[in-house]
């Protein structure tokens, strides 16, 4: 394969995975921005999304059902987990991290019980390919990017234009004043945690047909999520999206020249360098 087709392929792949990563990272950063809780179990919710899809695709043969149902179910699960484990310790930030770590432990082993230790795959729901620089490229991947972009765009509008969104931003800026003005902060916290969980699960659903589904697939992705949210600025919407795309493109381009492990290390080091120069990350105002 020539250099140019290889480059285009990597760029398109980086674009697709960048939007999936943006979905996951937005889920985490949304929760952090509002509740100041780092959800360590976030990666496990991504795994739940993929495992749910595997289950529904195998049992009922329908990926599309999973696209609708799984994020909803995992969102409710996340909301329940928040009420049981996180909210009681919300006054101590460091304790919330530890509580979500306990959740990770539970989630991961539940995933192991349901799914078993061996990797599995989900068939492509759109079995069509289009030519791209002399190769066939699966349309489903482009569909994934489109869905992620629509959801992220919708989320942005939702936070800007709806009552709930205004409440979220108001509570984020000053909780006490928000409560004094009658904004139901406690309810908003719980719903936002659920929303963040649903976003992680949606990422898992979309990724399931193009990656290998594993019970512990959340561990590998959480490192990227963490790097994106700190480099993008914890709680920043725009920064998260930009850095997600940047990280995946950087990985894709360096994969042309180096082996995958090395290209991973290069992109990670670039992120750590950014972090050292700018402690608060890019923090693009959104």
- Residues 257-276 touching other proteins, rule: CB under 8 A, are 259, 261-262, 264-265, 268-269, 272, 275-276
Of 208, 218, 212, the residue nearest 45 (C-alpha): 218
User: Least distance (Å) from other proteins to the CB of residue 286?
Assistant: 19
Number of residues that bind other proteins (CB under 8 A): 45
Residue for token pair 């609708």: 68
SS3 282: coil
Give the nearest distance from C-beta 35 to other proteins in angstroms: 11
List % helix, strand, coil for the chain (3-state, nearest 5). 80, 5, 20
Task: Kindly identify the residues of this chain, within the stretch 24-53, that bind other proteins according to CB under 8 A.
Answer: 32, 36, 38, 40
What's the CA gap between 264 and 251, in Å, rounded?
6
Residue 253 engages other proteins in binding (rule: CB under 8 A): no
Beta-bridge partners for 271:
none
Instruction: State how far the Cα of 111 lies from the Cα of 118, in Å rounded to an integer.
Output: 11
Q: What beta strand segments (E) does 38-140 contain?
A: 129-132, 135-138
Residues in 60-119 that interact with other proteins by CB under 8 A = 84-85, 88-89, 92-95, 97-99, 101-106, 108-110, 112-113
Could you list the residues that contact other proteins (CB under 8 A)? 32, 36, 38, 40, 84-85, 88-89, 92-95, 97-99, 101-106, 108-110, 112-113, 219, 222-223, 226-227, 229-230, 234, 259, 261-262, 264-265, 268-269, 272, 275-276, 279
């Amino acid at each position: 394969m020539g250099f140019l087709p290889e480059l285009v392929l990597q760029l398109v792949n980086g674009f697709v995975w960048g939007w999936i990563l943006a979905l996951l990272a937005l889920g985490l950063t949304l929760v952090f921005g509002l509740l100041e809780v780092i959800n360590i179990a976030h990666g496990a919710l991504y795994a739940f999304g993929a495992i749910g899809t595997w289950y529904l695709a195998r049992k009922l043969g329908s990926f599309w059902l999973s696209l609708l149902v799984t994020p909803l179910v995992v969102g409710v699960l996340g909301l329940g987990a928040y009420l049981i484990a996180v909210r009681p310790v919300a006054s101590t930030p460091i304790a919330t991290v530890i509580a979500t770590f306990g959740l990770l432990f539970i989630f991961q082993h539940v995933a192991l019980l349901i799914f078993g230790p061996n990797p599995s795959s989900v068939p492509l729901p759109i079995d069509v390919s289009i030519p791209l620089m002399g190769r066939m490229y699966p349309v489903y991947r482009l569909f994934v990017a489109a869905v992620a972009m629509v959801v992220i765009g919708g989320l942005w509008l939702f936070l800007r234009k709806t009552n709930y969104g205004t409440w979220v931003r108001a509570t984020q800026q000053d909780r006490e004043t928000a409560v004094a003005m009658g904004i139901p902060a406690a309810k908003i916290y719980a719903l936002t945690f659920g929303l963040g969980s649903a976003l992680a699960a949606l990422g898992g659903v979309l990724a399931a047909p193009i990656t290998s589904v594993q019970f512990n697939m959340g561990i590998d992705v959480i490192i990227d999520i963490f790097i994106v949210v700190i480099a993008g600025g914890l709680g920043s919407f725009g920064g998260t999206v930009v850095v997600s795309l940047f990280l995946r493109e950087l990985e894709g381009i360096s994969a042309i020249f180096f082996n995958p492990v090395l290209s991973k290390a290069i992109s990670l080091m670039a992120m750590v360098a950014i972090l050292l120069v700018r402690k608060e990350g890019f923090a693009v105002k959104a």
